[in-house]
């Protein structure tokens, strides 16, 4: 079963809207963490490390997921809204399509 031209355009549009939403969400999450690190007087690479470890639940030595966990949080905050917005947008198109 192949998709028709309008369906492909609608899927692309829904995917682009989802990706844009995901980027905004991820940048907000990461930006907030960096702002908190800067407020604590940490700048540059140390701020990035601190922000990612904070998002990951703390350093590995204290039982958190560390920077890897922070990267996973930022990635999930981009992926989840992208999938949801894309799927809902395309679903609405299919529902309302004549």
Tens digit of pLDDT per residue, the chain (98 long)? 567 888 888 889 999 999 999 999 999 999 999 999 999 999 999 999 999 999 999 999 999 999 999 999 999 999 999 999 999 999 999 899 87
75 in Cβ contact with 89 (< 8 Å): no
Q: 33-55: string of b/e by CB count within 10 Å (b at 16+)?
A: bbeebeeeebeeeebbbbbbbbb
This prediction's pTM: 0.82
CA–CA separation, 66 and 68 (whole Å): 5
* Whole-number pLDDT of residue 98: 74
* Whole-number pLDDT of residue 1: 57
């Amino acid at each position: 079963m192949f998709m028709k031209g309008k369906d492909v355009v609608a899927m692309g549009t829904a995917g682009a809207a989802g990706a844009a939403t995901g980027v905004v969400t991820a940048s907000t999450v990461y930006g907030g963490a960096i702002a908190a690190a800067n407020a604590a007087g940490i700048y540059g690479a140390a701020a990035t490390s601190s922000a990612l470890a904070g998002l990951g639940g703390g350093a590995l030595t204290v039982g958190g997921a560390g920077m890897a966990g922070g990267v996973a949080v930022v990635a999930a905050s981009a992926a989840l809204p992208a999938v949801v917005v894309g799927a809902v947008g395309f679903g609405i198109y299919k529902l309302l399509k004549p």
